[in-house]
Structure 1
Amino acid sequence: MQNRFLLLSALMGAASVTARDVPANIRNFYDSIKAKGTCSNKLATGFYSKDNGPNTFSYCGDHIADSNVIYIKGTGANFADMDIDCDGEQNGRGDDGRCGNSHDTQSITSFQSQVAGYKKGINDLNAYVHPYVVFGNTGTKSGWKKFDPTAYGIKPLSIMAVVCNNKLIYGVWGDENGDDGPKPMVGEASISMATACFGTSMNGNNGHDENDVLYIAFPGSDAVPGANGANWGAGSWSSFENSIEGLGNRLIARIGGGSGGGGGTPTTSAKPPTPTGGYYCDWPGQCEGAKCQTYDDCGLDLICDATEKVCTMQGCQWPGHCLGAKCASHNDCSDPYECNAKFGYCWTRAA
Structure 2
Amino acid sequence: MPPLALLGAAAVSAREVPATIRSFYNSLGAAGSCCNKLATGFYASDDGPDTFSYCGDHLSDYNVVYIQGVGGALADMDVDCDGAQRAGSDDGRCNSSTDTQGETAFRSTVAGYGRGIADLDPFVHPYVVFGNEGSKPGWKTFDPRAYGVEPLSVVAVVCGDQLLYAIWGDTNGDDGAKPMVGEASIALATACFGSSMSGNNGHDATDVLYLAFAGSEAVPGADGAAWDVGSFEEFEASIAALGDRLVQRVGGRAGDSDEPPREGGWAGRSLG
Offset of 1:66 from its aligned partner? 1.2
Matched ranges for 1:303-318 at <5 A: none
Contact 1:14–1:238 (Cα < 8 Å) also in 2: no
Matched ranges for 1:68-87 at <5 A: 68-87=63-82
Match of residue 259 from structure 2: none
Q: What CA deviation, in whole Å up to 9, does each residue of 1:24-71 have, x standing for no partner?
A: 000000001110011100000000000000000000001111111100
Match of residue 186 from structure 2: 191
Separation of aligned partners in 2, 1:46 and 1:211: 16
Match of residue 66 from structure 1: 61
Contact 1:67–1:258 (Cα < 8 Å) also in 2: no
Q: Which of structure 1's runs of 4+ aligned residues deviate more than 3 A?
A: none
Match of residue 89 from structure 1: 84
Match of residue 15 from structure 1: 12
Structure 1-normalised TM-score? 0.69
> Which protein shows a greater Rg?
1
Separation of aligned partners in 2, 1:83 and 1:38: 21
The verdict on how the C-alpha distance between 1:258 and 1:197 changes in structure 2, with shifts beyond 3 A counting, is closer
Matched ranges for 1:69-218 at <5 A: 69-218=64-213
Task: Identify the range of structure 1 (60-69 vs 242-251) with the bigger mean alpha-carbon deviation.
Answer: 60-69
Contact 1:37–1:77 (Cα < 8 Å) also in 2: yes
Q: 1:26 and 2:21 equivalent?
A: yes
Contact 1:66–1:259 (Cα < 8 Å) also in 2: no
> Which amino acid is 1:225 matched to?
P
Match of 2:251 among 248, 256, 273: 256
Offset of 1:14 from its aligned partner? 8.1
Separation of aligned partners in 2, 1:221 and 1:257: 23
Contact 1:87–1:107 (Cα < 8 Å) also in 2: yes
Contact 1:93–1:128 (Cα < 8 Å) also in 2: no
Identity of aligned residues (%): 65
Offset of 1:92 from its aligned partner? 2.9
SS in 2 for 1:122: coil
Structure 2-normalised TM-score? 0.89
Offset of 1:260 from its aligned partner? 2.5
Separation of aligned partners in 1, 2:100 and 2:68: 26
Contact 2:28–2:254 (Cα < 8 Å) also in 1: no
Separation of aligned partners in 2, 1:26 and 1:216: 10
Unmatched segments (≥5 aa) in structure 2: 1-8, 257-272
Separation of aligned partners in 2, 1:209 and 1:52: 12
Match of residue 236 from structure 2: 241
Offset of 1:241 from its aligned partner? 0.1
SS in 1 for 2:94: helix
Q: What CA deviation, in whole Å up to 9, does each residue of 1:125-152 have, x standing for no partner?
A: 0000000000000011110000000000
Unmatched segments (≥5 aa) in structure 1: 1-11, 262-351
Separation of aligned partners in 1, 2:184 and 2:130: 9
Separation of aligned partners in 2, 1:24 and 1:103: 39
Q: How many residues align?
A: 248
Match of residue 217 from structure 2: 222
> Which amino acid is 2:30 matched to?
A
Offset of 1:101 from its aligned partner? 0.7
Separation of aligned partners in 1, 2:24 and 2:129: 22
> Which amino acid is 1:230 matched to?
A
Matched ranges for 1:246-285 at <5 A: 246-256=241-251, 260=255
